[in-house]
Structure 1
Amino acid sequence: MEYVHLVVELTIGFAALFLMTKILGKTQFAQITPFDFISALILGEMVGNAIFDEDVTIWKVLFAILVWAILIYSIEVLSQKVQNTRGFLEGRPSIVINKGKIDYNALKKNKLDLNQLQTLAREKGCFSLNEIQYAILETDGSISVLPKHKYGMPTNEDLNIPYKPVQLPVPVILDGQLEKNNLHEAGFDELWLQNQLSSQGITQYQDVLYAEWRGDEGQLYITTY
């Protein structure tokens, strides 16, 4: 009976946290702010107390989650409505390389050393800090990089490549399952797709790991298991 009660508490706690996350529209983990991180720690502690502390009932935890969700939502609305609060609640981007020169004071202020800066730069494809004209440390801990002119990638206009419309690729089969809505959005039906698969010796959707229609190329790309 004790294990059944534990399963019930875990399920209710998970459902409550999941529902709160969906309602608040939280960003992915790579984009969380310091405030989001603190919120996650506190909410996890609340559910943990409900599971392991017999004096704390799941209903008290649900009430605490509700109150905490209201506080978070209020702060989110405040940061959207009042621009002056965003810097305090979400942090501000910081220029760590300005006009090709490393700003030591900005690094020190953000507790960032040169090794960490080099790592972040390599993640952006810059293997030398000397290639960077501007680097901005974002509020999520990543950096945005603007390379110096001679290290920048040439554009299609620079290479005199004729303009060609770009279209989003449309996945029509995922993990062996037909994506009907996507197929119809691409302007095709199942008969067309089956003919395309048959031309490559494929008889059923379950044999296809991934299939994608590229409208700008007029071609269906198929990957089997």
Structure 2
Amino acid sequence: MIEYLTAIEKIPVEGFVLRTLVVGIEIFILGRYLPRRAGGPFSAYDFAFFWMMGGLAASPLYEAKISFIPTFIAAATIYALHYSLSSWATRSRTFAKILTGEPTVLIANGKIIRENMAKSLLPLEILLSELRTVNVFNLNEVEYAILETSGHVSVIKKGGHSPATAQDLQIAATAKPSPLVVINDGHLIEENLVTLGYTPDSFRFFFNQQCPLPPADIYLATLDSAGTLYYSEMSYGQKS
């Protein structure tokens, strides 16, 4: 059987099946440990399934010597494997966790968990972008943020941050200021400070009045034009 994994002139049917399984396992392992956003909305085994199906469907177009019959056999093998794994995952929570991974808590009790951000290879910019897609523009509104196995971020807002709409109250809507990142990993973001009307010195004075820690000890701080400040310290996250 080992010769089916090396370069040979002609591959029998069982050789195609074996090669398909080996490539599927290889792509699954690669997809399983990619950053979750890299696979888009797919789990690791879905990523492997679609990637291999696409390659198989196109292979006869690029190589005239490849027969459609082995291609169909390999595709059927992949489909059967995907169906079996999916079915097994519905019956076993332990296997489902191995197959798809587990969600990762990025913000808990309003505090950013830096260790989980680093483990998930998720930059702050991506987290803030994901929050904006669910209409969260201020971190002060977030109670929990969870990185799902699909790569998307689910958000649970704090109580009181889902008020009645302006339309419900029949009043004119006012623009909501969008916060800017002013401290990232202990460093001041001077261009954003300028946008908000601060110099580095004036911001340090303002920040010292709001936070007992120096900017160098802050993992992330955001500030909007209304003066609403959010900050998380380096180790775990302390919110103002």
Give the structure-2-normalised TM-score: 0.50
Distance in 1, Cα, partners of 2:93 & 2:121: 25
**CA offsets per residue over residues 88-117 of structure 1, 9 Å max, x none?**
111211110000000111111111011000
The reply to whether residue 149 of structure 1 matches residue 159 of structure 2 is yes
Task: Kindly state the Cα deviation for residue 31 of structure 1 after the two structures are TM-superposed.
Answer: 3.9
Give the root-mean-square deviation of aligned CA atoms.
1.9
Q: Is the CA contact (8 Å cut-off) linking 2:45 and 2:82 kept in structure 1?
A: no
Structure 1 unaligned residues grouped into runs of 5+: 1-28, 160-225
Query: Of the two structures, which has the highest relative contact order with CA contacts closer than 8 Å and spacing of 6 or more?
Result: 2
Structure 1 partner of 2:113? 103
* One-letter code aligned to 1:125: N
Q: Is the CA contact (8 Å cut-off) linking 1:118 and 1:128 kept in structure 2?
A: no
The reply to whether residue 129 of structure 1 matches residue 139 of structure 2 is yes
Distance in 2, Cα, partners of 1:154 & 1:144: 21
Task: Kindly state the Cα deviation for residue 154 of structure 1 after the two structures are TM-superposed.
Answer: 4.4
Match of 2:71 among 35, 39, 61: 61
Task: Kindly state the Cα deviation for residue 130 of structure 1 after the two structures are TM-superposed.
Answer: 2.2
The reply to whether residue 38 of structure 1 matches residue 48 of structure 2 is yes
Task: Kindly state the Cα deviation for residue 85 of structure 1 after the two structures are TM-superposed.
Answer: 0.8
Report the 3-state secondary structure (helix = DSSP H, G, I; strand = E; otherwise coil) of the residue aligned with 2:48: helix
Distance in 1, Cα, partners of 2:91 & 2:124: 37
Report the 3-state secondary structure (helix = DSSP H, G, I; strand = E; otherwise coil) of the residue aligned with 1:149: coil
The reply to whether residue 50 of structure 1 matches residue 60 of structure 2 is yes
Task: State the number of aligned residues.
Answer: 128
Task: Kindly state the Cα deviation for residue 148 of structure 1 after the two structures are TM-superposed.
Answer: 1.6
Runs of 4+ in 1 over 4 A off after TM superposition: none
Q: Is the CA contact (8 Å cut-off) linking 1:93 and 1:137 kept in structure 2?
A: yes
Distance in 1, Cα, partners of 2:96 & 2:113: 24
Q: How many percent identity over aligned positions?
A: 27
* One-letter code aligned to 1:35: Y
Report the 3-state secondary structure (helix = DSSP H, G, I; strand = E; otherwise coil) of the residue aligned with 2:156: strand
Give the structure-1-normalised TM-score: 0.53
